[in-house]
Amino acid sequence: MNTKKLGSLLLAGAMVLSLAACTPKEAEPTPTPSASAAPEVKTITKTAQGYGGEVSVTVTFTDGVITDVAAVGESETENIGGNALKELPGKIKEANSADVDGTSGATMTSNAIKSAVKAAIAEAKGESEPTAGAVAMKPGTYTATASGFSLLQPLEVKVTVSETAIEKIELGENAETYPFVTAAMEKIVPRMLDAQSVRVDAITGATGSSTGIKLATEAALKDALAAGGADESAIESFYTVPEKVGKQETIDTDILVVGMGGSGTAAAMSAAEAMYAANGGDASKVSVLAIDKAGKYGGTSCITADTMGINAPEYDATYHGGKDYVDAEAMKADWNNFTKGDAKQELLDLFFEESGPTIDWLISHGFDYGEGSPDGEGWEYGGPQRGFTPEDIFYCKFQYTGQGYGNWKKETGEMFDAIIADYEKLGGKYLLEVEGTELIYDKASNTVTGVKAVGYDGTEYTINAKAVITATGGFSNNAELQEQYLSNEYYPLQGAWNMYGMTQNDGKIFASALDIGAGTYNIGMPPMVHLQGAPITLHEYPVEIVGDENDVGFWSALPRRNSLNDFPNALASAAYALQVGMDGARFSNEAGTFQTWKSGPRYYTIWSDDYFQSVKENGLPGAGFGDDLTCQGGIDGGKPIPEVYDVIDLCIEKGIAYKADTLEELAEITGMDPATLTENVGRYNAAVAAGEDTEFGKSADYLTMSIANEGPYYAFVGASYIYSTVGGLDVNTDMQVLGSDNATPINGLYAVGTDSLGVLFSEQREYVTYGGAAQGWAYTSGRIAGKAAVEDLEG
């Protein structure tokens, strides 16, 4: 008998009997079997201190399980901390735990994400956040290291502690850049000691060095706590984040300079000189204030190597018998030819007239550009040099003494110390770690009357001024402005660019000028690109010392290093490679000077597997890859790399390399056009076979690697690194900002340096290669603006 059917009949009968037994009142309805209870969803957001500022993490829990994690950190660096913001949420979700490995090279951001997630987990469980264990350290001095700004050598810190407190923090061995690490030590150490915390804000403009100091101090404290027998959780006592004060302050000044890089320092110095002279040498009557968001002055100029100056009269008289180094008219004609006549002629004329005297002026304030006649060879710094390409025949590039011998950035920093000392003697004043955020503008009179600003401690400033000189370095660290303005009909520039420069150049005052109706000039031209490499930095492999005191890095003066972390950089910048744009088309001579910008922020290098088989057995061809400036020492040529495929797999995992069996598949997964890629590979192979590149003129010396007929094939992502944007605000010969009609000055507003550099260039061409043009304009325009602003006040 069917037992299921019998069971159903018995159940039906029981229900009928049950209903019959009810009283005459209306029977209760039979409840409908309910679906399973809805899942419990909780969404919790927590914050923690990251690399550059606050990191916010939102965690979603479904029935107690982590089902989504999203991390945001607007102040984290895109290609370092940004990697942690992208990678860690997925790892945490998969592990259902915050106990995951952090992202290499992004320790501060990783720790912030994990701390925030742990706090969210505690709240989701209804628990209070874990309390710190009692602090008990073994008194003494502990030494620890951490990664700072330099990729070549860890930053060493020595921390002296009592049983319960940090007593002293000292800097040990390091390869940090002088102005950066000096600013960090002078400012961050007192704040760490005062707050007894390693979670104080990093020093803007010295974020890498600041982070290294904080991480090394934290590691030393952990050692001290362990030695004292404290619980691991005791380190939490040193994680407090100081509160912002939130007070308001008003400052009145005649001249306000926003930004203290090369252009701002020159503008402030020039204004102080003019006002000092106008008041009979009375420093008390000099009313000039300069501010900078960074914790140091010098800006991007502190990491540059040379300044353009066209025939400096006093220098020429001293070292060249009074003869000009440059045929100025010939050079100007060459400049106009290069920029297709698009440069603003009266500004170009002014630059040619005043850049030479500016060199003499800088020398009078402590800048050292060497002595002697030019030789045009190598990196000698006796006299002005020629530019970067064989076509650059004009001796106009004045190099800082010592450049190329490891200490030139220190000497550059000391030159800024000298000019700032002169500025203060004349009565000039300055405030660091104060960021200008908005121009104060009176629309009725078309006049800028000051700036709103905010200090590192939260102080909100209203700075009233009769003239404002914006010297904020353009908008190289503002992806939104880049997306909006870096586009023209000539090149595919759209997108956000990697940068090698100052992250404080965020364009806030530049954007504010646009908001009040400032005009622009060549705003959409390509940014200044001098470097190229992978879009992110690997940190998974060690940095190996391969040199000694007789074999040092050109830029660092340290014993030469090698690291497989530089492998993607080597492939992104190989002169013998095939480079294609995001559409799959070849775009330039890969062995040319500063050419990758033509593809926009990203490009690809294309490889076939036979190349990597060779690298595995024989290493990189030729001299290999070496660049101590931006990388971790490079990779010597001819050294077999047996782990090459492991490195490739890591690059694929990081999203900076792709692999496919066919070129068509490679194009599809990278977003390139398959037909375009295959056609360009065929043309390039033909050029290699012929030993002649009729399309872009690449030398036969670099036509050494073709793409094989069989896969697998690889595409490595390359990135152009920018020092700064170039196109900027329109100005007249006094550096006054012009309105949107490009004719009427905005009263009280001046723009110098890369905030107005576009007046010398063209959207049809890139930044020039004569050498030092941006620095020359920075100092020259600043010198002109400072004097002009004072003269305008005098009426």
pLDDT in tens, 403-417: 555 566 778 888 999
CA distance 723 to 341: 25
Q: Give the pLDDT of residue 107.
A: 82
- The candidate with the shortest Cα–Cα distance to 98, out of 75, 78, 76, 123, is 123
Task: Specify the pTM.
Answer: 0.87
CB 237 within 8 A of CB 448: no
- Phi and psi based region of residue 38 (left: phi greater than 0; alpha: psi -120 to 50; beta: remaining): beta
442-454 pLDDT, tens digit per residue, is: 999 999 999 999 9
Q: List the structure tokens of 503.
A: 């992250």
pLDDT at position 403: 53
- Whether the CB-CB separation of 566 and 633 falls below 8 Å is answered with yes
Place of tokens 């480079």: 579
**pLDDT at residue 136, as a whole number:** 96
- Ranges of the chain whose pLDDT falls below 70: 1-36, 78-79, 129-130, 372-382, 401-408, 627-630
Strands 288-292 and 429-432: parallel
CATH topology of domain 528-723: Flavocytochrome C3; Chain A, domain 1 (3.90.700)
The domain ranges of the chain are: 41-124, 140-238, 250-490+503-526+727-794, 528-723
Residues 158 and 178: their CA atoms lie apart, in Å, by: 18
So what's the pLDDT on residue 114?
Answer: 87
- What pLDDT is attached to residue 6? 32
Contact between 386 and 393 (Cβ < 8 Å):
yes
Buried b (16+ CB within 10 A) or exposed e, 725-750: bbbbbbbbeebbbbbeeeeebbbbbb
Q: Topology of 250-490+503-526+727-794 in CATH? A: FAD/NAD(P)-binding domain (3.50.50)
Beta bridge partners of 442: 447
Q: Bridge partners of 749?
A: 468
The reply to whether 250-490+503-526+727-794 and 528-723 are identical in fold is no
Q: Strands 460-470, 745-751: parallel, antiparallel or unpaired by DSSP?
A: parallel
Question: What is the torsion angle, in degrees rounded to the nearest 10, for the CA atoms of residue 370, residue 371, residue 373 and residue 378?
Answer: -30
In terms of C-beta distances under 8 Å and separation of at least 24 residues, what long-range contacts does 315-323 make, across chains too? 315/356, 315/359, 315/360, 315/363, 315/369, 316/356, 319/371, 319/372, 319/373, 319/383, 320/373, 320/383
pLDDT at 538: 92
- C-alpha span between 378 and 391 (Å, rounded): 16
Task: Write down the residue that tokens 């100056």 correspond to.
Answer: 309
**93 is written with which tokens?**
């979700």
Cα separation, 601 vs 479, in Å, equals 11
Contact 723, 676 (CB under 8 A): no
Architecture of domain 140-238: Alpha-Beta Complex (3.90)
Pick the CATH number of 41-124 from 3.90.1010.20, 1.10.10.60, 3.40.50.1400, 3.20.20.210: 3.90.1010.20
Residue with tokens 């330099």: 150
* 724-762 confidence digits (pLDDT tens): 999 999 999 999 999 999 999 999 999 999 999 999 999
Mark out the alpha helices in 233-390 (DSSP H runs): 262-278, 313-319, 328-338, 345-364
The token duo for 11 is 């159940």
